Chain A
Amino acid sequence: MGEKITINPVTRIEGHARVSIFLDDQGKVEKTYFHVDQYRGYEKFTEGRPFSEMPMITERICGICPISHHLASAKACDAVIGVDIPRPAKLLRELVHMGQIVQSHAMHFFELAGPDLLLGWDADPAVRNVVGLIQANPDIALKAVKLRKFGQRIIELTAGRRIHPTFAVPGGVNAALDEARRDEMLSFLEEGIPYIQEGIEIAKKWISEHKEECNQFASFPSGYMGLVKKDGSLELYDGIVRFMDKEGKIVREFEGKDYLKYIGEKVEDWTYLKFPFFKELGPEEGFYRVGPLGRLNVADSISTPLAHKEFLEFKKVNGGKPVESSLYYHYARLIETLYAAERAIEILKDPDILSQDVFTFGTPKNEEGIGVIEAPRGTLIHHYWVDGTGTMKKSNLIVATGHNNWAMSKAVDLVARGFVDGKNLKEGMLNRVEGAIRCYDPCLSCSTHAVGKMPLIVEIYNQEGKLEKRIQRD
């Protein structure tokens, strides 16, 4: 084997990851690895805590999608006390979840991944970011900032604060909504919908101008998984898990609480991120993708009108078969943003939304509780075991980004093989490799319940292990 290239860290993603690319003597890519570098130990250090603290502790796994952990955790706690929470509480929880989908997706498209598409893969790394975007296109950038704000405002107005609220509790939520706050949300959501549509138009235009790239960039068959409503339409808060094989056939539908029957996780030596797989197909064949692309692939429709219209167009991309190219994640993400905004409006107009009936009291009845939700990045599972007093005995978490671990590794490998030429190395080539990861919008502090750092340094060693060349981005 010849040289090794390290991309460290992958930037414009949440958390810390590295990529190692091994080259042969001709400078061609031989092997790649996607490493995730840290582990925080939430599964362990929560043992012995009162179960009712879990929604507040676990949201601190991730500041980008704290609401997902907060709600998956609250759902697991509901199961522990064996309570079906009042309908208004369910609506309020779903509302903050929609707020988070809007903020997380909007931020990813415009602030993290967008610069590659809108400014170009090979743009100067010093300006290939959101500030560069503000300078290049202040109108779009300001709308993007506002869109993210609207999402965060929904969370703030409903749950009391934007990040790490103390809102969802076992049995419901701890605050009802009033008219003034409802009306404020309705008014800015009306303003936000055209911004999202503009984003979708930008994505569609980009796709039509880069057809070939879109179809080839990290495109590969896989299984897909996501929640759906009873009628098979897209669901993000509470539904059944649907698993689809690479041909597009629905092979299983199951309740989240049965996840252990269907999902296993494998460990590899070179990364702290585990590799989930669909047990019926085994660790070699059972890989699958989650998140926006996975969800739109498994869904039959979307329940809100504007997003459904876009959904029908999306389904045409691969003639009704699952859409396989990783770049389509961005497009799917924006369609989901539109759904989330429309759904938030629906919820706010629901006659039950101002009801004071938001909480049912309960004490621990069951020894186990499982909560499953669609986080912005995919299916999130919280599983708790408690004793009779409600003290945590143990927990198991499978997070969205984990399910996509195999896919990210595969995407990195394909893009590295397609673009990296070790004899003539350019920064833009490596940015494309990072771009393959960005498609999946990984949240690595979630995935290993960890976070990280570091400069991008590329070191090229010759066969004797002597440093030949060093490219540094700083």
Chain B
Amino acid sequence: MKKITLASDWLEGCAGCHMSLLDMDERLVELINEGLVITATPITDLKVPAFGTDIGVLEGAVATDHHEEVAKLFRERCKILVALGDCAVFGGINTMRNYIPIEELLKRGYVNTESTVEGKIPQGPGIGKHLKKCMALNEVVKVDFYIPGCPPSADAIYKVLKDILEGKTPELKEELLKYD
């Protein structure tokens, strides 16, 4: 049996796309039995995809310097890169922040909120730096396949993975191709 390795990660998203992946339920076990090998993902303890991983799946938009690094790392190490969900495909809901200067966003969160007492904006070393603009994945790296939807249905994700496992070019049509 041919083994196909899969790695995944989440960037600026809500984990909903990964939940939809798990929503394949028993079919996920079926894919594993058919040769899908789950390697570095948020639900395993391996976090960096190995060089030559067959399928890299990314959820979420690119919003910080850390996301940018991960996107590039996945591109470098995965043969096929899949943008999973509206956040990765278009930037998604996160891009609502693009109309507001980042300082104002932070001020609301950490200084002005009614429950905050003596607030300040966290600026300690090493916490993520926000990029000026929150971006879709393909604004940062080349993407091979797109699965839109917020989140995409488990059926759509299953179809794409099954096609790849069978050596076909994945294609989503009709019911499976949705943008909500």
Contacts and interface: CB of A to CB of B under 8 A. Distances in A.
B32 to A, nearest CB: 6
* Interface pairs A-B: 3 shortest CB-CB: A63-B16, A474-B48, A41-B105
B117 to A, nearest CB: 4
Interface string B146-173: 0000110010000000000000000000
A143 B59 CA distance: 27
A339 B63 CA distance: 39
Given A15-B15, A451-B60, A269 B122 contact: yes
B82 interface: no
B12 A450 contact: yes
B52 interface: no
8 contacts: A12-B43, A62-B14, A265-B113, A431-B45, A452-B66, A452-B128, A453-B11, A455-B40
Contacts of B50: 474
Given A39-B106, A266-B117, A44 B47 contact: no
Nearest to A449: B109
B47 A473 contact: yes
B127 interface: yes
Contact of A66 (B14, B46, B66, B105): B14
A82 B127 CA distance: 41
A142 B26 contact: yes
Interface of B: 9-20, 22-23, 25-26, 28-29, 32, 38, 40, 42-50, 60, 63-64, 66-67, 69-70, 92-94, 96-97, 99-100, 104-106, 108-110, 113-128, 130, 150-151, 154
A14 interface: yes
A145 B25 contact: yes
A225 interface: no
B123 A145 contact: no
Given A149-B25, A267-B122, A453 B115 contact: no
A112 B121 CA distance: 32
B29 A41 contact: no
B96 A269 contact: no
A45 B96 contact: yes
B26 to A, nearest CB: 6
Contacts of B9: 453
A281 to B, nearest CB: 13
B43 A112 contact: yes
A396 interface: yes
A289 interface: no
Given A145-B25, A271-B124, A454-B70, A41 B108 contact: yes
Given A41-B108, A269-B124, A60 B14 contact: yes
A263 B122 contact: no
Contact of A473 (B45, B60, B104): B45
Nearest to A446: B14
A39 B32 CA distance: 35
A146 B67 CA distance: 33
A126 B39 CA distance: 8
Contact of B94 (A18, A40, A131, A383): A40
A286 B40 CA distance: 39
A364 interface: no
A11 B44 contact: yes
Q: For A11, A128, A473, which residue has the most chain B Cβ atoms within 10 angstroms? A: A11
A451 B45 contact: no
A145 B25 CA distance: 6
B151 A164 contact: yes
Contacts of A455: 40, 47-48
B116 A265 contact: yes
A266 to B, nearest CB: 6
B66 A454 contact: yes
A263 B115 contact: yes
Contact of A63 (B14, B28, B45, B125): B14
A269 B119 CA distance: 10
A474 B126 contact: no
A130 B29 contact: no
Interface in A232-282: 259-260, 263-272, 274, 276
Given A38-B64, A131-B44, A452-B128, A274 B116 contact: yes
Given A37-B66, A45-B105, A453-B67, A162 B11 contact: no
Given A37-B128, A269-B124, A272-B127, A63 B42 contact: no
A307 B88 CA distance: 41
Nearest to B105: A41
Given A64-B15, A129-B44, A131-B44, A267 B28 contact: no
A401 B100 CA distance: 26
A45 B101 CA distance: 10
B45 A396 contact: no
Q: For B10, B109, B121, B126, which residue has the most chain A Cβ atoms within 10 angstroms? A: B109
Q: For A57, A265, A472, which residue has the most chain B Cβ atoms within 10 angstroms? A: A265
Interface in A449-466: 450-456
A134 interface: yes
Contact of B109 (A43, A63, A264): A43
Nearest to B40: A474
B108 A44 contact: yes
A61 interface: yes
B117 A44 contact: no
Contacts of B122: 267-272
A107 B22 contact: yes
A386 B47 CA distance: 43
A128 B43 CA distance: 10
Given A39-B109, A431-B45, A164 B97 contact: no
A260 B113 CA distance: 11
B44 A12 contact: yes
A325 interface: no
A398 interface: yes
